[in-house]
Structure 1
């Protein structure tokens, strides 16, 4: 049985019943992976032709259709097929870890956003823009994006407190300095692509600023020279945070331009009024040749993704991990 791999134009001889990710790794085909269990999404690829069986827990035995996206770690090879993997310059490999941490900081960023800092018991490797599963107690687990870059002694998360949310209510009322918290990951595919010089647009909504901060902080560490436009959308002036961090990043990245957009405001001030996607639509006739990172509520992420593609950014160059509010 043969598997053709695009864009490498390689053909692999395999046996029926083999796992796709294991086959790619054995043949030294470059592909991102982390958790190996279908949770992180980093080994996503596309079935161009032929069939594989999706073997995830919820979909065991489901055949694919041409053009369908699958996770390589959850795909079983059953016939000749053609698989398209991400561009080589997008490959990252951070084997999934479970890390014990200790709460060393809790502070208010806004009226409903907490900054939680965790001291790491050992190094935690991730790419800027990824997130982790944060477990505060056995039944209190939620994904949150890292707001800092890898290599430090702490992880940092920005957590919006949701009324009656189980996890966020615990963070607001019971979490304290010295508490033990478990991290697992990293997870997510909206990580910084470091081997490109294409200009970048970032769109963040609310606490979606956290992964965007991680991405732009990593750009500053790398000293990138390409243009970066960061749009930060919030509901009202009291939801704005992180301005001092953004000012610091502007000083380190001369080509960084920051746009803060407030949906509901009658107050004069330095910020733009309106919806963040409308601001992007107004500012740009074309974004052809650009790359984009988007983070925030699913509705904002979906609207931004559609707009950016309309403005000329290739679909595969719009990187986004939307978070849903279940179990908050």
Structure 2
């Protein structure tokens, strides 16, 4: 049985029923991975031709269109097929870990956003833009994105408090400095692509600023000179936060342009009015050479994806992290 791997244009031979990720590793084909359990999304790839078996199910699937994307760690090769590996030059490998941490700081950023800082007992490597699962108690666990870098020695998170939210309510009313927290990860494929030299579009909605801060800090730490446009979308002026951080990043990266866009009740003299998607439409023409990082609520991420695609950014170059609120 053969597997053709694109864009490397390599053919590997595997045994029927072989796990796709293990087969790629055995052939020394570069492939990102982390959790090995189908949760992190890091090993996402595309089946261009042929049939595979997903997740150990007992039925084969001929995958087409959007359904052609699979997780290599959960995919088994049952017929000759062609696999497309995304960005083999941007592979990241951070084996998933569980690290104990303690709460180092918990402070208000806005009326409904808290900054949570954890001190891990051991280091955890992650790429800028990734997230982890935080478990405060057996009944209180939720994923959150890091705002910093893995070399900081601390983990920083921005938590939006949801009315009647089970986990965010616990963070707001019961969590205190010194409490133990279990950190599992890293997770997520919307991480900084360090080899890209073209312009970058970063769109953050609310606490979606956290992973975008990590991406911007990572770009500066890597010495990336890319032109970067950050659009920070918020509902009202009282939701604005993190401006000192953004102003410092603009000083550190002279090609970074920060656009704060407020939906309603704003002051046109200090920030833009309307939707981030409208601002992007107004500011840019062809964006086919760009890469996009989109983080925030699902409706915002979906709308920004539509604009990015309409502006010419390839779907494979749009890295999205939508924040879902179930179980918050």
Sort the TM-score into its range (normalised by shorter chain). over 0.9
Q: 1:148 maps to which residue?
A: 148
TM-score, length of structure 1 as denominator length: 0.97
Q: 1:271 maps to which residue?
A: 271
Aligned with 1:63 (options 52, 61, 64): 61
**2:236 touches 2:266 (CA, 8 Å); kept in 1?**
no
**1:54 touches 1:76 (CA, 8 Å); kept in 2?**
yes
**2:194 touches 2:224 (CA, 8 Å); kept in 1?**
no
Q: Deviations over 1:182-217 (max 9, x none)?
A: 110100010000012011010000000000000001
* C-alpha separation in 1, matches of 2:16 and 2:99: 37
* C-alpha separation in 1, matches of 2:59 and 2:114: 43
Change (3 A) 1:17 1:306: same
Match of 2:18, SS?
Answer: coil
Q: 2:300 maps to which residue?
A: 300
Instruction: Measure how far apart 1:65 and its partner are.
Output: 1.4
Match of 2:119, SS?
Answer: strand
What root-mean-square deviation, in Å, do the aligned CA atoms of Structure 1 and Structure 2 show? 1.1
* C-alpha separation in 2, matches of 1:266 and 1:290: 29
**1:146 touches 1:157 (CA, 8 Å); kept in 2?**
yes
Match of 1:280, SS?
Answer: helix
Instruction: Measure how far apart 1:7 and its partner are.
Output: 0.7
* C-alpha separation in 2, matches of 1:308 and 1:269: 27
Q: 1:321 maps to which residue?
A: 321
**1:128 touches 1:214 (CA, 8 Å); kept in 2?**
yes
* C-alpha separation in 2, matches of 1:127 and 1:266: 35
Q: 1:108 maps to which residue?
A: 108
**1:100 touches 1:181 (CA, 8 Å); kept in 2?**
yes
* Aligned: 1:47 with 2:42: no
Question: Mind listing any 5+ residue stretches in structure 1 that lack a counterpart?
Answer: none
Match of 2:152, SS?
Answer: coil
Q: Deviations over 1:131-166 (max 9, x none)?
A: 001111111111110000111211010000000010
Tell me whether 144-153 or 204-213 shows the greater mean CA deviation: 144-153
Change (3 A) 1:90 1:112: same
Q: 1:259 maps to which residue?
A: 259
Q: 1:188 maps to which residue?
A: 188
Aligned residues: 326
| Segments of 4+ moved more than 6 angstroms | none
Q: 1:25 maps to which residue?
A: 25
Instruction: Measure how far apart 1:64 and its partner are.
Output: 3.6
Q: 2:229 maps to which residue?
A: 229
Match of 2:220, SS?
Answer: helix
* C-alpha separation in 2, matches of 1:14 and 1:134: 38
* C-alpha separation in 1, matches of 2:202 and 2:293: 5
Change (3 A) 1:266 1:84: closer
Question: Mind listing any 5+ residue stretches in structure 2 that lack a counterpart?
Answer: none
Q: 1:170 maps to which residue?
A: 170
Give runs of aligned pairs for residues 111-150 of structure 1, distance below 5 A: 111-150=111-150
Q: 2:37 maps to which residue?
A: 37
Give runs of aligned pairs for residues 241-252 of structure 1, distance below 5 A: 241-252=241-252
**1:55 touches 1:62 (CA, 8 Å); kept in 2?**
no
* C-alpha separation in 1, matches of 2:82 and 2:265: 52
* C-alpha separation in 2, matches of 1:146 and 1:70: 26
